[in-house]
Every structure is written in structure tokens, then in C-alpha cells.
Amino acid sequence: MAEVMTDLGIGDILAQFGIDPVNSGASTGEYWLNTSGEKIESISPVDGKVIATVNSGTESDYEAVVLKAQEAFLLWRKWTAPARGEVVRQLATKLREYKEPLGKLVSYEMGKSLQEGLGEVQEMIDICDFAVGLSRQLHGLTMHSERPGHRMYEQYHPLGIVGIISAFNFPVAVWNWNTALAWVCGDVCVWKPSEKSPITALVCQQITKEVFAANGVPEGVSGLVIGGAEIGKRMAEDKRVPLVSATGSTRMGKSVSAAVGARLGTSLLELGGNNAIIITPTADLKIVLPGAVFGAVGTGGQRCTSTRRLIIHEDVYDVFVSAIVNAYGQLKVGNPLDETNHVGPLIDHDSVNMYLSALEKAKDEGGNILVEGGVYEGKGYESGCYVKPAIVEAKNTYEIVQHETFAPILYIMKYSGSVENAIAIQNNVPQGLSSAIMTNSLKESEAFLACTGSDCGIANVNIGTSGAEIGGAFGGEKETGGGRESGSDAWKVYMRRQTNTINYTDSLPLAQGIKFEL
């Protein structure tokens, strides 16, 4: 068993939220339940110490949470949307109050830098603010009927239970991307967080409980079941869950999609990325360097939007490669709670092995290592999860390059000729999440954004691939799954659409002029 964490002030944070670091005894429900499920140790990749131990949810736990959610939905859907929005507004206020301790816990449990942990909580606050405004704008359309004396319009109604399967890399923000919108839409939520980051999930439930209880929100509007793939499988197959929002690997997404589709449910999928930055001859080095380096090493390369590939024009290839290699030499890898460090650990030893395997495969396929990888050892690296950000000169056709490796490995490749050649290279992977071009040419930027340009759900000009603003819809195409979360009109997936026709005459004319007389 790993050593139980006692320092860094994390114990005080856990106590603040009522979590016993030895055994929280909690895994399901808006109000914590003791369960008999298998124990899960949450081990921090920062120092290899146990944060807390939780019980995983059993089949009966899952059933209890879903039944409670069904009951809650019958009441919650009757609340007006602005009233639901007011509850979410108060949640945003509470998150502001808890931003520092929750952000620190995110950093410690997941391994991302403290600033990124705080930034993730800020994303939660931002989406709540967005949802509050949205609660007064759940609008449909009105149409002119082809029949005289008739009126047509569309409206949106709550769906019911929204199942949320989230990944370890954004252990709290992605949950809130879904819940904030789902709640103002009148839905209730059941959450299966990653078993690699259960403690932050428990804290989110505690914060939510505090706000919901103060407002008389029905118990069951926010449900939680901690567990492994079997819980996600059960959720995907459950006909009582009309929408399953799943974030994770493409392999996982295909499994969820098949199960949900088999029962004609709806799945919102946010899956793998293989994101590229195109660097053209007119690109500004001052913009390229921070965009490319943070995109590749931020969160230890464990973002779905992490930069995996740099596609550089041959005329500026040597200059930019030299600059990026030099920038990597300045990176500091270490405890993510120390703000002088740029890169923290990978989530666990399995991820480290996957990183090492990818580097070996890249070498086997002919890749030229420009910045050596490897695992850090010694004082401060006792967890065994700290790895060296690596750069590999490669070809886009390498099998390993075609796959997403959740680690700080950056593949660099060269293109010649027009920007269309670079776009073709960028698009020639199975994934289609995020993309970027660095250029000062209007023609190149417009070609990149045209329908014949980037095939990704996100296409940026002169910013990197990593990260996104709350106001825009987030998601990608191809093996990224096609889902959209967060801003714009992403709220519509959380509601059912209904067309209404009202006849205010004394006769019954039929559509298309059909005559039917008795």
C-alpha cells in the first residue's frame, strides 16, 4: 500500500470537506452513502501517497441513485428555468469561495500544475455564469403555418436523466460543463467520474449538496456513482438514461456509442485528439513558441487538446525546430504545487509505460529523437510518474503518430509548397478535435478555416490547440466523436425538441391541401 498523504496542507483541505483521508466511506449519492463495494485508493502522482480511500458503487448503489434521480426529475422539471438558474448562480458563488482549496486538490490528485488546477475551477465558475444567462434564453422558433388559422412553433423540454462519464485529466470542469447546462434545462444528472480521481468528485458533490440543500432542490438532482468500467457500461445500457455524455478514449467512446445506440439513446462523445499546429513561413516566433510548448507539455500532455504534431514549412523548419528544442531545455519538471515548475507528473505508472512504449515505437519506425525522453528518478520524483517531455522528428504516416499518446511527446514534421499541403497532412489522422495555424497571411488563415481546410471541430489562428473558451461549443469530428459541450447552442442536446401546431378556427384543414370529408 502506498504511504498515506500527511503534508502539503491537503489533509486540511480534505477535512474542510468532511473527507477522512484513511477511509471516506463514501461513493454514491448526493448525500454520502456507505457501500460495500470494492475499495479504491486515490494515489497522488505527485508523491505516490494515498489521498483517501473510497468504496466503489455496487449494482444496488447504481440502482438506488438512478431511482432517486427519476423521482427528482418529476419535481425538478417543474421548476422554472430562471429558478433553476438561480441555484446554479449560487453554485458559482460557492465555487468562488472554494476555488483555492478545490484547485489545489485537483492539482494534487491529478498532477496538473497549481495554476491549471485553479484554472479548471475557474472553468466551472465560468460555465455556471454562462448557464445562468442561458436559463432565460431557452428559446424555440415560431413558423408560419401553411394552413389558415393555425400557428406553429417549437419548444424545448427537459430530457430526464443525463449520465456523465468523465476522465481523470479534467476531473471537475467537464462534469460541470454538463451539469450546469443540464440543470438549467431541467435535467437531473448521474455522474461516474474516473476511478483515478474520485476525491475531487466527492468534493464537488459536497459543494453542490451545500447549495442544493439551502435551496430545497430535490435530492437526486445530482447523483454520483464511483466505480470502474462496469458502472459506465451499465449506464450506457440503461434505457432510463436518455443522454450519456462520455469523455475519454476513442476505444471507450466506441463502446459507449454502440451500447447507447443499440437502445436508440443519445450519446455526447468527447474523445481522443491528435492535434497539430501548422507553422507557415510568415509565422511569428514570439507566438509560436508559447503556443506550441504549452500545448505540448501543459497538463503533462494529458489534454485531449494537447499539441501532438508540429507541421513546419521547410523554409523556416530549422529556425523553428532550433527554437523549440532550446525552449524545452528551459522546462522545469517537478511538484505541480510548486509554481516555478512547468510540468507535473503523469497520472499513474500505466501512463508512464504507455509513454515509454510510444517513444520506442517512434524510434523503431525511424523517428529521430531531438529531445530525449525518459523517467525522472531521485528526490522529488519518488512517485515514479515524472517523465521528460520529448520531441521526435517523424513522419505523419508513422503508425504511432496516427495514435493519441496521452503524454508529453511532440512529433515534428516538415512540409513544402502551399498551405494546402500542410492542411492535408494535418487532416490525415483518424481524430479531428483541435487544430491551429501560425501565419500572418490572410490567404493562408482563410484557407485553413474554409470548408476545404481543417476538418477539426476547433480551428484556431495564431493561438495554440490547447484549451478553449466557455462561450464556444467544444468538441470534434471523426474519431473524436462529434459531440459538443459548453457554449453556443450546445444546450440543445440536453433537451428534447417539440413542434407544436395550434388550430384556432372552427374547421380542420389538412396539410398539403388534402381533402377528407365524412
Amino acid at 437: I
C-alpha cell at 32: 454520502
**Tell me, what DSSP letter sits at residue 23?**
-
Give the 3-state secondary structure of 111-128: CCCHHHHHHHHHHHHHHH
Q: Out of 185, 304, 385, 456, which one is annotated catalytic?
A: 304
Q: What is the four-CA torsion angle of 2, 167, 274, 472, rounded to 10 degrees?
A: -140
Q: What's the rounded Cα separation, in Å, for the pair 217 and 421? A: 55
C-alpha cell at 258: 454502440
Q: Maximum distance among all alpha carbons in the chain?
A: 91
Amino acid at 122: Q
Cell 474516473 identifies what position? 194
In the residue annotation, 304 being an active-site residue is answered as yes
Measured CA to CA in angstroms, residue 30 lies from 123, 164, 209 at distances of: 22, 15, 6
- Within 13 Å and on the Cβ side, how many CA atoms surround 409? 31
Contact indicator for 127, 183 with CB cutoff of 8 Å: no
- Within 13 Å and on the Cβ side, how many CA atoms surround 380? 11
Contact indicator for 190, 234 with CB cutoff of 8 Å: no
Measured CA to CA in angstroms, residue 226 lies from 58, 76, 455 at distances of: 9, 24, 35
Cell 521526435 identifies what position? 392
Q: Is 61 helix (H, G, I), strand (E, B) or coil?
A: helix
Q: What's the rounded Cα separation, in Å, for the pair 17 and 203? A: 6
Q: Out of 270, 404, 444, 485, which one is annotated catalytic?
A: 270
Q: 192: Cβ–Cβ under 8 A, 6 or more apart, which residues?
A: 163, 164, 165, 166, 225, 226, 227, 231, 232, 235
Identify which of 379, 290, 394 has the alpha carbon closest to the alpha carbon of residue 334.
379
H or E stretch at 152: strand 150-158
Identify which of 334, 328, 27, 402 has the alpha carbon closest to the alpha carbon of residue 191.
27
- Catalytically active residues, by annotation: 270, 304
